[in-house]
Amino acid sequence: MRYGNRSDKQGAVWLAVMAAAVLTAGGCSSESTAEQTAKAKGPGGPPMVNVVAFKSQRTALTDKISIIGSLESNEQVNIQSEISGTIESIRFEEGQPIKAGELLFEIDKEKLKASYDQALANLKLAETTANRYKNLVQSKAVSQQEYDQTVATLESNRATLALAKEQLADATIVAPFEGIMGERLVSEGQFVTQGAPLGSLYNQNPMKVTFHVPERYVGEIRAGQTISTKVAAYKDKSYEGKVYFISPNIDETTRTALVKARIPNPQGELRAGMFANLELILDVKENAILIPETALIIKGDSVSVYTVGEDDTVALKQVTVGTRREGMVEIVSGLEAEEVVVTEGYQKIGPGSKVNVRFEDLTEKKFYEII
């Protein structure tokens, strides 16, 4: 594990390259020391050189970042009273699952119903008066101004009735969406004013997870990418979700972008406020070839490796390298799977040299970098 000193830390961001079963340590000789010594020289040729080598095969190479995030409810709302009045009934228990539209609170409707009935009566009277004045104004029995006044009174009464109807409806408070009820803040019989908090409702399936990604990775993140989440409460479980939001802005102070993902939570194990350890997969190369960095021979801009053929003869091959992670390097071109590369002892050999090979085994090795 290597610790870097990068200036744009936003928590611990982990880059992991999984090289599962990168190598098979095939070809190890079971000959005795004496037998190996006897083979150390070819017929009439120079001595064979002992080297350490590595035989690769194609494997999946995953680039991912490990980062810290925080869990939030998918939706949450503080239930408030739209009117003043006395709490007549509470129809839920704290922590109870609630469906959208389910009744939560009822406020006493007696005075509200009386106001509605009065407004309805006033409207009917205003309608009758307006209709009568309409006929009278045509016969010049009343002035146009008097008729206009009755029409204005009619419209005012219509508005009063609409308000009374709305207030009567506001006395019945229902859930705006499906979720889990939180703490209730009032009791039956309690008088509440308009805007008073009554309780809270949370939708936690799915959950949201929010985190900040260093700007150098923003170009590698897209909506729909898979994210894996672990929490301290369930250490042995991993929860998978999908990225759905990437901020269009970079924070000028932290040089990070806000990213959000949704994670299914059918069992309700994940809760808002939990600390989340996240792994975001940036790229998966299904047929990558990895070899130890110690195999690379670098001369200026040229990178090459020594390979060993079936007749134990060395050849020099130029290669193109890709991702480097903690002692391992991806070979993009110039090398095929199953080829044997020299990792130690190549200072004593050249093209055409004969070698005795001892294989290096790095099976199931992981490489991490803290950024």
CB 22 within 8 A of CB 53: no
CB 10 within 8 A of CB 218: no
Question: What is the per-residue pLDDT for 46?
Answer: 67
CB 294 within 8 A of CB 344: yes
CB 239 within 8 A of CB 265: yes
Looking at the DSSP bridge assignments, the partners of residue 17 are: 367
CB 291 within 8 A of CB 335: yes
363, exposed or middle or buried, with CB in 10 Å at 0-12, 13-18, 19+?
exposed
Question: What is the per-residue pLDDT for 110?
Answer: 92
Going 197 to 202 to 203 to 206, the CA torsion angle's sign is positive
For the chain (371 residues), the mean pLDDT of every run of 10, in chain order, is: 38 36 38 44 68 86 89 96 95 95 95 94 92 84 88 94 94 95 95 96 96 93 93 94 96 95 95 94 85 92 93 94 84 92 91 90 42 25
Determine whether domain 20-59+286-370 maps to CATH 1.10.150.530: no
Question: What is the per-residue pLDDT for 22?
Answer: 36
CB-side neighbour CA atoms (13 Å) of 325? 23
* Cβ-proximal residues to 209 (8 Å cutoff; 6+ apart), any chain: 69, 70, 71, 72, 227, 229, 241, 260, 261, 262, 263, 276, 278
Question: What is the per-residue pLDDT for 365?
Answer: 44
* Cβ-proximal residues to 310 (8 Å cutoff; 6+ apart), any chain: none
* CATH superfamily to which 66-73+206-285 belongs: Efflux pump adaptor protein, beta barrel domain (2.40.30.170)
Tell me how far apart the terminal alpha carbons of the chain are, to the nearest angstrom.
11
Backbone angles phi, psi at 69, to 5 degrees: -140, -175
Determine whether domain 109-170 maps to CATH 3.90.220.20: no
Going 154 to 159 to 165 to 168, the CA torsion angle's sign is negative
Question: Structural domain boundaries of the chain?
Answer: 20-59+286-370, 66-73+206-285, 109-170
Distances (CA, A) of 66 to 9, 214, 230, 321, 336: 12, 11, 11, 24, 31
Question: What is the per-residue pLDDT for 285?
Answer: 82
